[in-house]
Amino acid sequence: MSIEQINPPTLRRIDQLVEAGLIPASAQAELAGVVERYALALTPALAALINTSDPQDPIARQFVPQADELTTTPDENADPIGDFRFTPVKGIVHRYPDRVLLKPVHVCPVYCRFCFRREMVGPGGDSLTDTEMDAAIGYVQDHPEIFEVILTGGDPLMLAPRRLRDLIDRLSSIPHLQAIRIHTRVPIADPARINVELLNALESPVALWVSVHCNHVQELGPEQRAALTRLSKAGIPLLSQTVLLREVNNSVSALTDLFRALFSLRVKPYHLHHPDLAPGTKNFRLSIEEGQQLVAALWKSLPGPARPVYVLDIPGGFGKTPLSPSAIEPAGNSQYWVRGLDGKAMLYPPLTQ
């Protein structure tokens, strides 16, 4: 038995997708240009969860290239949420007064076909040098208004545990910093990486949260569930972030199954993102109205703590805003129409007799 049979490689080439039965051989030439422009990576852990006999498989839809990715619409942008506009030093995005993003690496275990940073991440990406990391941490030290640092990228859990440990130690030593949040796909895409060494690296004297990107319940196989359990047992509070994607999870049943599963694994559903205007991602997007209708129906099937907030990153870097439909409308005379989960509107406060 070969080493690759024991430890199958991450799929990074079109011919590997053909061999895995994920695309027909006839599609190789058509997709070559897509892979040349946008990075391709699909880990064995996620590839093993794909049903190759299902043309609508929700995992394949997220990671297998499509020819339409080379079609860019006029409203799409290489920097759809305005990272560049709010980058005072390399690796830092300071969009909100009390928190910053810190992007130490630009590689990921997998590359989502809808990624809002797809023009910036990939093999050979521009990760921070030691000098640039010093400058980024120095920026946090010099700004006492910063309450929280969010490690993102790329995927910060792609750092070697020793480097991750050093980064967390340096951030934790900043007196005014009170929280670190890590945005990651690793527990889903490469769950074996969540080992004792990495868990030790995540120990922090300040509050440390891990926000896990997961879009469909099919991504939660036995290995992924075990990885999330290891994080939880280590005392790390877990959040989730999900992107609302056409032909992946744009149904009440798909979202209900996902958020119930996450909640049962001690992962708090946090954000349901309306997809960003990244280049070549039109076919993943649905209208805000469709999203609001889904969310209104979804609330009926989920307990309160399992409900994420439906949000949009306003193009241009103006921050996130909630998109959930309003349950209240003015009725005049200091009264309001308040709509319940059954869709019925009641007057509040009720008329006195």
Which pLDDT score is estimated for 1?
Answer: 43
Which pLDDT score is estimated for 23?
Answer: 96
Looking at the predicted structure, is the pLDDT value of residue 351 above 70? no
Rounded mean pLDDT of 30-45?
96
DSSP 8-state secondary structure symbol assigned to residue 249: T
pLDDT > 90: percent of the chain = 85
Q: How far is CA 204 from CA 34, 136, 169, 179, in A?
A: 41, 19, 7, 9
Give the orientation angle of helix 130-141 with respect to helix 161-172, to 10 degrees: 30
Q: Going by DSSP bridges, is the β-strand pair 267-273/345-348 parallel, antiparallel, or unpaired? A: unpaired
Q: Confidence band (pLDDT; 50, 70, 90) for 189?
A: very high
Rounded mean pLDDT of 157-170?
98
Looking at the predicted structure, is the pLDDT value of residue 173 above 50? yes
Handedness of CA 107, 62, 297, 303 (dihedral sign): negative
Beta strands in 285-350 (DSSP E): 309-313, 320-322, 328-332, 335-339, 345-348
Which pLDDT score is estimated for 346?
Answer: 85
Q: Which residue has the higher pLDDT, 149 or 318?
A: 149
Catalytically active residues are 95-96, 99, 108, 112, 115, 117, 276, 313, 320
Record the pTM: 0.93
Looking at the predicted structure, is the pLDDT value of residue 352 above 80? no
Residue for token pair 């309003």: 326
Q: Which residue has the higher pLDDT, 343 or 236?
A: 236
Looking at the predicted structure, is the pLDDT value of residue 2 above 50? no
Which pLDDT score is estimated for 333?
Answer: 82
CATH 3.20.20.70 domain position(s) in the chain: 84-322
Looking at the predicted structure, is the pLDDT value of residue 353 above 50? no
- Domain covering 84-322: architecture: Alpha-Beta Barrel (3.20)
Looking at the predicted structure, is the pLDDT value of residue 166 above 70? yes
Mean pLDDT of the residues in the chain: 94
Q: Confidence band (pLDDT; 50, 70, 90) for 127?
A: confident
Residues paired with 241 in a beta bridge: 213, 271
DSSP 8-state secondary structure symbol assigned to residue 349: S
Which pLDDT score is estimated for 313?
Answer: 94
Q: Confidence band (pLDDT; 50, 70, 90) for 61?
A: very high
